Amino acid sequence: MTIEAPSTSLADAPVYDNRAAFADELIQLARRDERIVAVCNDSVGSSNLTAFRDEFPDRLINVGIAEQDMVGVGAGLASSGLIPFVCAAAPFLTGRSLEQVKADVAYSQHPVILCGMSPGMAYGELGPTHHSVEDLSWLRALPGLDIVVPADRRQTRDAVRQAVEHPRPTFIRVGRHKVPDVTVEGDRLVRGRFTTARAGSDLTIIATGTLVSRALIAAELLQAAGLDARVLNASYIAPLDVEAIADAARTTGAIVTAEEANIAGGLGAAVASVVGQLESAARVPLRILGLTEFAPTGSTDFLLGHFGLTADHIADAAREALAHG
């Protein structure tokens, strides 16, 4: 589905915390479906589950700071026919309990909804221990686990709804760093598919999560320079939209990927794997933007700039890729 390019720059648009949309949608669904429960690791506040706990005190399980137990409890609830939303700060949900995610969720195919709260570098000054920039790399290695990265509050709500409508092992990256709306009301996520946030024929920018709005602003900058940039919103990292990547390589002159994550094994690596297996004529120049090292101390906006994850940097990478095409 295609979204028309915004008439005014997203740089001036209001921004929102996706956790608020997540919490509100979860409560609305829970009012209609008694199977929905929440599990957390002493993170009721940071997971935005306070209102859920107050309305459904018997349907929230707080295991304390015990992430491995938390995932195991979620798997047990799922095996009993419930729909557990297992919520925790993304670095601890994925890092501390990776074995349980592998064995109890992905391998066992228990329909647990893993909700990685405040991913990427959303915790800012708390530093690399609290940044979740390795999660896409770790989780992409697990067969049978969906990885969803909503770009705005609408996609966040839709990811929660679809997790209830079609329960399966799923990881949802629930953003804390505020972003503008980049999708159209009523459009729905399609499992394993990117969405076309902006049509274009000269090059393609594939971005995910917080970087989609920045990619769209980069496309505006490129348009002012006479370049027509396609922007793909990689809302699903797994299953991966191989068809959209291959089409971008075959019909545009270069690809730039942008992710608030380590590039070793993340979105860019996934795109590179697809492009590298295409016929030689379709192997266009590719630039991968993301993290390559632990972050210094600073705010989220500072860190995104430090690692070249701004609209200006994305536009520069696109020009450079086209120049070497």
How do 170-174 and 146-148 pair as beta strands?
A: parallel
| Residue 130 exposed, middle or buried by CB count within 10 Å (0-12, 13-18, 19+) | middle
CA dihedral (126, 289, 171, 96) positive or negative? negative
Same domain membership, residue 169 and residue 28: yes
pLDDT at 142: 98
| Whole-number Å distance between alpha carbons of 101 and 97 | 6
Q: Residue 46 pairs with which residues in a beta bridge?
A: none
304-324 average pLDDT score: 97
Q: What is the pLDDT of residue 5?
A: 39
Q: Write the DSSP symbol of residue 107.
A: I
Distances from the Cα of 290 to the Cαs of 6, 91, 269, in angstroms?
Answer: 25, 17, 11
**Residue 8 included in any domain:** no
Residues 148 and 246 both lie in one domain: no
**pLDDT score at 119:** 97
pLDDT reading at 8 higher than 60:
no
Distance CA 73, CA 39 (A): 8
The model's pTM:
0.95
In a domain, 11, yes or no: no
Does residue 9 fall inside a structural domain?
Answer: no
pLDDT at residue 14 is higher than 90: yes
d(CA 19, CA 38): 14
Q: Is the pLDDT of residue 164 over 80?
A: yes
Query: What is the total residue count of the chain?
Result: 325
For residues 195 and 169, state if they share a domain. no
Mean pLDDT of the chain: 95
In a domain, 222, yes or no: yes
Which tens digits make up the pLDDT trace of 178-213?
999 999 888 899 999 999 999 999 999 999 999 999
Q: Which residues contact 52 (CB under 8 A, 6 or more apart)?
A: 23, 26, 27, 30, 38, 59, 60
Percent of the chain scoring above 90 in pLDDT = 94
Give the pLDDT score at 105: 98
User: Last residue of a domain, which of 127, 149, 174?
Assistant: 174
pLDDT band, very low/low/confident/very high, at 125 (cuts 50, 70, 90): very high
Does residue 175 have a pLDDT over 90? yes
Q: Are residues 229 and 111 part of one domain?
A: no
Residues 251 and 166 placed together within one structural domain of the fold: no
- The pLDDT assigned to 37 comes to 98
| 74-78-82-83 Cα dihedral, nearest 10 degrees | 70
Strand 36-40 and strand 83-89: the pairing is parallel
In a domain, 13, yes or no: no
Q: How far is CA 207 from the centre of its chain?
A: 9
Q: Does the residue 77 lie in any domain?
A: yes
Q: Are 276 and 249 in contact (CB under 8 A)?
A: no
**Domain total for the chain?**
2
Q: Which of 174, 203, 237 is the last residue of a domain?
A: 174
Residue 250's identity, in one-letter code, is R
Same domain flag for 270 and 306: yes
Q: Which range marks the domain in which residue 50 is found?
A: 18-174
**Among 174, 198, 219, residue at a domain's last position:** 174
Residue 7 clears pLDDT 60, i.e. is over it: no
Encoded tokens for 127: 């530093």
Spell out a b/e string for 25-50, using b for 16 or more CB atoms within 10 Å of the CB, else e.
Answer: bbbebbeeeebbbbbbbebbebbbbe
Tokens of 307: 């690692």
Confidence of residue 12 (pLDDT cuts 50, 70, 90): confident
- Residue given tokens 């070249």 in the structure block: 308
- Per-residue pLDDT, 3: 37
Helix segments in the chain, DSSP class H: 18-32, 50-55, 67-79, 90-95, 98-100, 135-140, 153-165, 211-224, 242-251, 267-276, 300-306, 311-323
Are the CB atoms for 121 and 150 separated by under 8 Å?
no
What pLDDT, on a 0 to 100 scale, did the predictor assign at position 240?
98
Query: What would the pLDDT profile of 215-228 be if each residue is shown by its tens digit?
Result: 999 999 999 999 99
Q: What pLDDT, on the 0 to 100 scale, is given for residue 6?
A: 40
Mean per-residue pLDDT, 263-289: 96
**Residue 282 shares a structural domain with residue 307:** yes
Residue that the structure tokens 């608020």 belong to = 20
Query: Do 144 and 33 have their domain in common?
Result: yes
Cα 18 to Cα 175: distance, rounded to the nearest angstrom: 5
154 and 27 within one domain: yes
One-letter amino acid identity for 22? F
CATH number at residue 280: 3.40.50.920
For residue 182, tell me if it sits in a domain. no
pLDDT at 39 over 70: yes
Edge-to-edge strand ranges of the sheet holding 203-207 = 195-198, 229-233, 203-207, 255-262, 286-291
Confidence (pLDDT) at 4: 38
Together in a domain, 144 and 201: no
Is residue 70 one of the residues assigned to a domain? yes
Read off the CATH number of the domain in which 137 is found.
3.40.50.970
Q: Are residues 168 and 207 in the same domain?
A: no
Contact 201, 252 (CB under 8 A): yes
Whether 288 and 169 map to the same domain: the answer is no
